[in-house]
Amino acid sequence: MMNRCGLITVQKEPVPLQSIEVELEVRDHVATVVSTLKYQNKEDKPVEAVFVFPLPGDAAVCHFSAVIGQKEIVAEVKEKQEAREEYDDALSSGQQAFLLEESEQSPDIFSMKVGGLAPGESASIRLEYVTELAVQADDGLRFCLPAVLNPRYQPQGRNTSASVQVFSVPASLVPYTLCFCGRLFSPRPICKVESSCSLEPLQYLNTDQTQATVKLAAGHKFDRDVELVIYYKDAHQPTAVVEAGQTSAETGTLMGDPVVMVSLYPEFPQSVMSSVASCGEFVFLLDRSGSMDCSTSNSREQETRISSARDTLLLLLKSLPMGCYFNIYSFGSSYEHIFPQSVEYSEKSMEEALKKVKGMEADLGGTEILEPLKHIYSQRCIPSQPRQLFVFTDGEVGNTKEVLDVVKKNSGSHRCFSFGIGEGASSALINGLAKEGGGHAQFITGTDRMQPKVIQSLRFALQPAVEDISVTWGLPKGLSVTVLSPPITSIFQGQRSLIYGQLTGQSSEATEGSVTVKYSLAGRPSQNQLHFSLKPAEDTGLTVHRLAARTLIRSLEMEDRDEMGETDGGIKEKVVQLSVQSGVSSSFTAFIAVNKDNNETIQGPLVRRDIPVASECHFSKYNHRFDFDKFSVSHMDALHQDHAKIFVELCVEEVETPQQTPRDPLLQLVSLQKASGCWILDPDLAAALGKTSEEVEKSKPVTSEVWATILALIWLHGFKMDAKEEWELLAMKAASWLSPCVPESVDAGNALLGCSLQKDALML
Residues 267-298 pLDDT 10s: 777 776 666 567 899 999 999 998 898 887 65
CB contact set of 162 (below 8 Å; sequence gap of 6+): 104, 105
Does residue 346 sit within a domain? yes
Beta bridge partners of 73: 66
Are residues 417 and 292 part of one domain?
yes
Distance of alpha carbon 724 from alpha carbon 718, whole angstroms: 11
> What length is written for the chain?
764
The answer to whether residues 61 and 109 touch, using CB atoms and an 8 Å cutoff, is no
| Residue-number span of the structural domain to which 730 is assigned | 665-762
Instruction: Say what the pLDDT of residue 5 is.
Output: 32
CB 455 within 8 A of CB 444: no
Does residue 472 sit within a domain?
yes
Whether residues 471 and 448 fall in one domain:
no
Rounded to whole angstroms, the Cα distance separating 55 from 149 reads: 10
C-alpha to C-alpha distance for 15 and 42, rounded to whole angstroms: 9
Co-location of 378 and 447 in the same domain: yes
- Looking at the fold, whether 334 and 408 belong to one and the same domain comes out as yes
Low-confidence ranges of the chain (pLDDT < 50): 1-11, 160-161, 299-300, 562-565, 618-660
Looking at residue 742, its pLDDT comes to 66
In this structure, the answer to whether residues 392 and 527 fall within a common structural domain is no
414-421 and 441-444: which strand pairing?
parallel
Query: Quick one: pLDDT at residue 638?
Result: 39
Query: Residue 721 — φ and ψ, nearest 5°?
Result: -65, -25
Are the C-beta atoms of 255 and 545 separated by less than 8 Å?
yes
Contact 502, 249 (CB under 8 A): no
491, 503: one domain: yes
Looking at residue 610, the DSSP 8-state letter turns out to be E
How many Å separate Cα 203 from the centre of its chain?
28
Q: What DSSP character marks residue 541?
A: T
* pLDDT on residue 559: 77
For residue 567, give the DSSP letter. Answer: B
Measured in whole angstroms, the distance separating CA 446 from the mean position of its chain's CA atoms is: 13
Residues 458 and 527 both lie in one domain: no
Q: Identity (one letter) of the amino acid at 235? A: A
Contact status, residue 228 vs residue 146, Cβ threshold 8 Å: no
Closest by Cα among 349, 344, 399 to 374: 399
The angle at the Cα of 680, spanning 679 to 686, to the nearest 5 degrees, equals 95
The reply to whether 535 falls in a domain is yes
DSSP, collapsed to helix, strand or coil, labels residue 49 as strand
Is 600 within the bounds of a domain?
no
**Final residue in a domain of this structure, among 433, 462, 491:** 462
Return d(Cα 337, Cα 329) in angstroms, integer. 4
Q: In degrees, to the nearest 5, what angle opens at C-alpha 609 toward C-alphas 604 and 610?
A: 155
The predicted pLDDT at position 275 comes to 60
- Whether residue 756 is contained in a domain is answered as yes
Do both 422 and 381 map to the same domain?
Answer: yes
DSSP states of 139-178 as a string? SPEEEEE--B-PPPBPPTTS--TTSPPP-EEEGGG--SEE
Q: Give the integer Cα–Cα distance in Å for 15 and 607.
A: 11
Query: What is the pTM for the complete model shown?
Result: 0.83
420 falls within a domain = yes
The reply to whether 392 falls in a domain is yes
Instruction: Give pLDDT, residue 659.
Output: 47
CA–CA separation, 427 vs 181, rounded Å? 22
- The count of domains in the chain is 4
Task: Indicate whether 515 and 474 sit together in one domain.
Answer: yes
Give the whole-angstrom CA distance, residue 379 versus residue 191: 46
Question: Do 70 and 631 meet the contact criterion of CB atoms below 8 Å apart?
Answer: no
**Interval 536-560: pLDDT, tens:** 988 778 999 999 999 999 989 887 5
d(CA 752, CA 697): 11
CATH of the domain at 248: 2.60.40
On whether both 494 and 507 belong to a single domain, the answer is yes
Residues 443 and 458 in one domain: yes
Asked if the structure places residue 262 within a domain, the reply is: yes
As a whole number of angstroms, the distance between CA 366 and CA 358 comes to 21
Q: At 653, is the secondary structure helix, strand, or coil?
A: coil
Q: Which of 462, 492, 514 is the last residue of a domain?
A: 462
Domain boundary among 532, 563, 594: 563
Together in a domain, 548 and 646: no
